Amino acid sequence: MATTISRDTSSAVETEAAGEELGRRLRAGDLVLLKGELGAGKTTFVRGMARGAGSAAQVASPTFQLVRVYRGRVQLAHVDLYRLEKDDEIRDVGLDELLDAGAVVVEWGERLTGASGALISIEHLGGDRRRLTVERDLPR
Ligand SMILES: Nc1ncnc2c1ncn2[C@@H]1O[C@H](COP(=O)(O)OP(=O)(O)OP(=O)(O)O)[C@@H](O)[C@H]1O
Ligand SMILES: [Mg+2]
């Protein structure tokens, strides 16, 4: 069984820093799925990932745009599946093209059933505390 690694954070800044570490490791073709309830800190984690990937862009939830693209050392596409229920809508996101162009991070990524890629869960521990767990790491 793969080793799972957990880290508890006690502020948004710490969760961002964890995201930045992952962002520094990103390469084109990497897929990162984020799992966690509303307000868990998925977008906060992505903010750090974008910085680690070398982008100075403002990271915001792509809930209404579906996909936001941050250009850096490696391009990072930020997808949010919250409002997408049906499989055909999820396919319309065009994941393959995005992965050709760079790395991709997906909020509510567990909805991409059967997708490979890293899987990170973020759980509320009460107050500002969160538990980040690497359920599946990048394949290297
Ligand atoms: N330890 C922490 N880690 C991350 N965010 C935290 C932490 N403590 C407090 N917060 C706050 O929790 C909120 C997390 O919001 P964020 O938008 O990142 O969550 P989300 O999982 O993307 O939500 P949604 O499901 O609506 O997309 C922010 O307001 C952030 O400042
Ligand atoms: Mg979000």
DSSP 8-state class, residue 59: P
For residue 96, the SS3 value is helix
Instruction: Give the number of the atom of ligand 1 that is nearest the alpha carbon of residue 61.
Output: 27
CA distance 42 to 44: 5
Instruction: Give the number of the atom of ligand 1 that is nearest the alpha carbon of residue 9.
Output: 1
* Nearest CA among 100, 96, 39 for reference residue 74: 100
What string of pLDDT tens digits covers the 140 residues of the chain? Answer: 556 799 999 999 999 999 999 999 999 999 999 999 999 999 999 999 999 999 999 999 876 778 999 999 999 999 999 888 666 677 677 899 999 999 999 999 998 888 899 999 999 999 999 999 999 999 88
CA distance 46 to 16: 7
Looking at ligand 1, which residue's alpha carbon is closest to its atom 29? 39
Place of tokens 């997808």: 79
Ion ligand 2: residues, CB < 5 A: 42-43, 61, 107
Give me the domains of the chain, ranges plus CATH numbers.
5-129 (3.40.50.300)
| Ligand 1 pocket by Cβ (under 6 Å) | 9-12, 14-15, 36, 38-44, 61, 107, 128, 130
* Nearest CA among 86, 82, 53 for reference residue 70: 53
Is the pTM for the entire model greater than 0.85? yes
CA distance 122 to 130: 6
